[in-house]
C-alpha cells in the first residue's frame, strides 16, 4: 500500500498555484479597499470645505480684522494669533523635548526611576487636551500670574506637545545603530562627542519631522488655548506681524472657527468653511515642509 | 621583573543572574601577542570589554576582581577616555562610522584635541597604511566610510583603532570579513606593530593564533582551560585534553 510513489513535482499550473493566485488577488483587493476607506472621505471633506469656503477666501480675507460682530471682514487677528501661539509654543517645547529625549535615550540608565519617567512621558502624550488646558489655567494663568496671554497659552500647548516630541525624538535617536556608538566609545569618545558627531547628524531628519508635525497639531487645538489666552474677538493692527505681544490675549483660527459656528448668529454660510480651509491650508503647508525636509535630509543619509 | 602590561586577577562578570566569566586570572607581557581562542559564548568579547571598560555601557552587569593596565587598576581610573585610547579595540563586525574615510580615522585624534591639519593628515595616512587600506582609498578620502565594502570597512575599523596610538591593541576576530590575502597582509602588519604595542588577538581561526601569538589562552565557558606558550598549546600533548580536541577540531 505504501509503495505508491508521490506525484512528480511540476512548476506549472496546478490547483495549488491557482488558489494561491486567487488569495493573492483577494488580499490585494482588501488592502486597496482599506486605503480607499481612508482616502475617499479625506478628499470628500477637503473638497467640500474648499468648495463652500473658496468664494470668501482672498488676500483681503487673510489680512483684515473681522468686523461687524465677526460677520464681515477677514481673519487677520486669528491667523496671526495662531502663528504666534504655534511659534512660541514650539520655541519652548522643541528644545526642551529634544534635549530631554537625548538624555532619556543616551544618558539615562535603565533603572526603575527612568522607566517610570518613560512611562510618564508616554502617558502624558495620551492625556486629553482639555486636561492640559485646566493644568495651564491653574499653573500659568493663575499660579504664575501670567493671566490669560499668549505666553500662558503657548506654555500650555508646549506642555501638551512635549511628550510627543520626546517620543518621536527618542525613536529617531534609537534608529541610529548602536554599533556606531560602541565604535565611538571604543576610540575614547565621550558620550557627548558621540552624540554630537554621530548620533544627532544621523537622526536630525527624524527629529525635525517629529517636531514639525507637532505644528499642525498645535495649530488645530482649541481646548488648551480657550482657557489660557485665546479670546472671542480682538482687533489688532493690520499688516503688522508683531501686532501681538507675549502678554497679550489673542485670537486663534481654531477658536475662531468654533465661535463663528456656535456663537455668532447670521454669519455668512461660507465663513466657517473659509476659516477651516485656511486652517487646513496652513497645516498642509507645514506638513509639506516636513516632507520636503525629510526627503532632502534622507538623500544625505550616510549608511 | 617587568610590570605586566595587563594583569587580570580573579575576574568575574555576570549579565543579570547569568555569570559568564568565572574568576579568571592571567597576565600579558609588554610587546607580546596573546592569542585567545575559544568557542562562542566563552566570554572572549566580554573580557575585552572589561579591559577597556566599555562593559559599563551594558546595563545590569556585575564585575568583581581587578584588571590592571600598567599596574593601574582600571576601575579606579579617573579618565576612562584615556584608558580607551590606550586600549585600541577592533570589533568583530566592521563598523564604518557615517563620516568620510578621513574623518573616520581622524575622529579619535580630533576628540583627543589634535587640531592641526598636518598632524591629522599624517595620522590618517599612517593608520590607513598600517591597516593595508591606504592604496585602495587614498584618492577618495572624503567619500563615506559606510559605503566601503565589508572587508574595507573592517580595515577602516583597524585604522581607527590605531589612530589614537594605543599601547594595547585588542583585535576581536578582525579577519572574519576580510579575504585571506588581506588577512595575511594585516598579520604582517601586526608582527611589525608588536614592536610598539601589546596585542590581544581573539580569534576563531586557531591557526591564526598559532601563526602570530607568543602565548595562547584557551577560554571555554568563562574559564581558562589552558594558557601557555603557543607551541605548547598547539602541540600534541597540551596540559589539558580539551585544548587538544578544540585545536584539532574534534571538540564536543
CB contact under 8 A, A187 and B161: yes
Q: Between B117-130 and B101-111, two packed helices, what is the crossing angle to 10 degrees? A: 120
pLDDT tier for residue A151 given thresholds of 50, 70 and 90: very high
Indicate whether B70 pLDDT > 70: yes
Rounded CA-CA distance A90/A164 in Å is 12
Rounded CA-CA distance B84/B73 in Å is 14
CB contact under 8 A, B111 and A188: yes
Note the pLDDT of residue A2.
61
Rounded CA-CA distance A129/A142 in Å is 18
CB B172 within 8 A of CB B91: yes
Q: What is the mean pLDDT of chain A?
A: 88
Give residue-wise pLDDT tens across range A174-190: 999 988 998 899 888 88
Rounded CA-CA distance A261/A202 in Å is 46
Note the pLDDT of residue A303.
61
Per DSSP, the three-state class of B177 is coil
Indicate whether A12 pLDDT > 80: no
Note the pLDDT of residue A3.
61
Indicate whether A1 pLDDT > 60: no
From the list B98, B146, B163, the residue facing A187 with the nearest CB is: B163
* Burial class of residue A29, CB neighbours in 10 A (0-12, 13-18, 19+): exposed
Find the mean pLDDT for residues B152-172.
90
Indicate whether B252 pLDDT > 60: no
Out of A162-171, A230-239, B55-64, give the one with best mean pLDDT: A162-171
Give residue-wise pLDDT tens across range A263-297: 888 888 888 899 999 999 998 888 888 888 888 88
Q: What is the mean pLDDT of chain B?
A: 89
pLDDT tier for residue A298 given thresholds of 50, 70 and 90: confident
Note the pLDDT of residue A17.
86
With cell 474677538, the residue in question is A233
Q: Which domains can be identified in chain B, with CATH numbers?
A: 6-95+166-247 (3.40.50.300)
CB contact under 8 A, B107 and A187: yes
Closest-CA distance of chain A to residue B100, Å: 9
CB contact under 8 A, B111 and A190: yes
Per DSSP, the three-state class of B243 is helix
pLDDT tier for residue A302 given thresholds of 50, 70 and 90: low
DSSP line for B124-169: HHHHHHHTT-HHHHTT-TTSBGGGS-HHHHHHHHHHHHHTT--SEE
Closest-CA distance of chain A to residue B228, Å: 28
Give every strand in the sheet of B18-28, ordered side by side: B18-28, B6-15, B61-69, B72-73
CB A136 within 8 A of CB A159: yes
- The CA dihedral of A262, A265, A267, A271, to the nearest 10 degrees, is 0
CB A108 within 8 A of CB A191: no
Q: What percent of chain A has pLDDT over 70?
A: 97
Note the pLDDT of residue B41.
85
CB A68 within 8 A of CB A137: no
Q: What percent of chain B has pLDDT over 70?
A: 99
Residue B147 CB neighbour total at 10 angstroms: 15
From the list B54, B82, B99, the residue facing A186 with the nearest CB is: B54
Cβ–Cβ contact A108 with B under 8 A: no
Indicate whether B210 pLDDT > 60: yes
CB contact under 8 A, B52 and A193: no
Indicate whether B2 pLDDT > 80: no
pTM, to two decimals: 0.82
Indicate whether B1 pLDDT > 70: no
Indicate whether B79 pLDDT > 60: yes
Closest-CA distance of chain B to residue A179, Å: 7
CB contact under 8 A, A187 and B60: no
Indicate whether A167 pLDDT > 60: yes
Q: Which long-range contacts (CB under 8 A, 24 or more apart) does A233-239 make?
A: A233/A66, A233/A70, A234/A77, A234/A81, A235/A65, A235/A77, A236/A65, A236/A76, A236/A77, A236/A80, A238/A63, A238/A64, A238/A65, A238/A76, A239/A63
* Contact residues, chain B, for A197 at CB < 8 Å: 99, 107, 111
**Which residue out of B74, B83, B98, B101 would a mutagenesis test of the A interface target, given it has the greatest number of A Cβ atoms within 10 Å?**
B98
CB contact under 8 A, A188 and B97: no
Give residue-wise pLDDT tens across range A217-270: 898 888 888 888 888 888 888 878 888 888 888 888 888 898 888 888 888 888
**Interface of chain B toward chain A, CB-CB under 8 angstroms:** 52, 54, 57, 59-60, 81-85, 88-89, 91, 93, 95-99, 107-108, 111-112, 144, 146, 157, 160-161, 163-164
Indicate whether B157 pLDDT > 60: yes
Amino acid at each position: 500500500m505504501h509503495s505508491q510513489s508521490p506525484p512528480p513535482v511540476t512548476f506549472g499550473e496546478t490547483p495549488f498555484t491557482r488558489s494561491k493566485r486567487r488569495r493573492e488577488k483577494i488580499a490585494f483587493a482588501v488592502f486597496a479597499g482599506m486605503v480607499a476607506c481612508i482616502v475617499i472621505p479625506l478628499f470628500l471633506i477637503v473638497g467640500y470645505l474648499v468648495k463652500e469656503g473658496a468664494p470668501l477666501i482672498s488676500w483681503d480675507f487673510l489680512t483684515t480684522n473681522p468686523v461687524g460682530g465677526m460677520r464681515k471682514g477677514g481673519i487677520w487677528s486669528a491667523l496671526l494669533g495662531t502663528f504666534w501661539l504655534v511659534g512660541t509654543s514650539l520655541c519652548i517645547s522643541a528644545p526642551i523635548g529634544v534635549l530631554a529625549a537625548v538624555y532619556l535615550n543616551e544618558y539615562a540608565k535603565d533603572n526603575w526611576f527612568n522607566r517610570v519617567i518613560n512611562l510618564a512621558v508616554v502617558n502624558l502624550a495620551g492625556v486629553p487636551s482639555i486636561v492640559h488646558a485646566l493644568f495651564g489655567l491653574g499653573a500659568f494663568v493663575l499660579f504664575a500670574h501670567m493671566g490669560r496671554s499668549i505666553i500662558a497659552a503657548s506654555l500650555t500647548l508646549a506642555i501638551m506637545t512635549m511628550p510627543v516630541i520626546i517620543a518621536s525624538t527618542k525613536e529617531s535617536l534609537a534608529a541610529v545603530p548602536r554599533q556606531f556608538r560602541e565604535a565611538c566609545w571604543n576610540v575614547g569618545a565621550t558620550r557627548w562627542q558621540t552624540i554630537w558627531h554621530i548620533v544627532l547628524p544621523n537622526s536630525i531628519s527624524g527629529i525635525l519631522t517629529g517636531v514639525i508635525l507637532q505644528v499642525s497639531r498645535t495649530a488645530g487645538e482649541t481646548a488648551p488655548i480657550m482657557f489660557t489666552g485665546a479670546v472671542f474677538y480682538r482687533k489688532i493692527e493690520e499688516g503688522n506681524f508683531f501686532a501681538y505681544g507675549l502678554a497679550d490675549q489673542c485670537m486663534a483660527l481654531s477658536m475662531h472657527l468654533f465661535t463663528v459656528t456656535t456663537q455668532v448668529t447670521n454669519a455668512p454660510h461660507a465663513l466657517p468653511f473659509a476659516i477651516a480651509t485656511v486652517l487646513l491650508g496652513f497645516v498642509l503647508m507645514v506638513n509639506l515642509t516636513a516632507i520636503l525636509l525629510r526627503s532632502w535630509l534622507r538623500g544625505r543619509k550616510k549608511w | 621583573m617587568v610590570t605586566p602590561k595587563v594583569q587580570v586577577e580573579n575576574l568575574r562578570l555576570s549579565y543579570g543572574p547569568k555569570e559568564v566569566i568565572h574568576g579568571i586570572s592571567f597576565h600579558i607581557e609588554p610587546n607580546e601577542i596573546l592569542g585567545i581562542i575559544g568557542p562562542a559564548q566563552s566570554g572572549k568579547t566580554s573580557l575585552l570589554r572589561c579591559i577597556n571598560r566599555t562593559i559599563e555601557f551594558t546595563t545590569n552587569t556585575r564585575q568583581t576582581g581587578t584588571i590592571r593596565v600598567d599596574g593601574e587598576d582600571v576601575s579606579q581610573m579617573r579618565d576612562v577616555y584615556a584608558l580607551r585610547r590606550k586600549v585600541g579595540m577592533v570589533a568583530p563586525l566592521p563598523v564604518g562610522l557615517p563620516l568620510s574615510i578621513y574623518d573616520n580615522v581622524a575622529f579619535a585624534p580630533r576628540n583627543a584635541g589634535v587640531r592641526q591639519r598636518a598632524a591629522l593628515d599624517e595620522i590618517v595616512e599612517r593608520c590607513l597604511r598600517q591597516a593595508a587600506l591606504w592604496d585602495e582609498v587614498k584618492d577618495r578620502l572624503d567619500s563615506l566610510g559606510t559605503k566601503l565594502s565589508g572587508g574595507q570597512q573592517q580595515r577602516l575599523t583597524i585604522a581607527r583603532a590605531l589612530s589614537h596610538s594605543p599601547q594595547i591593541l585588542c583585535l576581536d576576530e578582525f579577519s572574519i570579513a576580510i579575504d585571506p590575502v588581506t588577512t595575511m597582509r594585516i598579520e604582517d602588519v601586526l608582527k611589525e606593530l608588536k614592536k610598539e604595542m601589546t596585542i590581544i588577538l581573539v580569534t576563531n581561526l586557531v591557526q591564526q593564533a598559532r601563526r602570530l601569538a607568543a602565548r595562547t589562552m584557551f577560554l571555554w565557558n568563562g574559564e581558562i582551560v589552558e594558557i601557555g606558550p603557543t607551541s605548547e598549546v598547539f602541540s600534541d600533548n597540551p596540559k589539558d585534553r580539551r585544548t587538544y580536541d578544540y585545536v584539532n577540531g574534534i571538540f564536543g
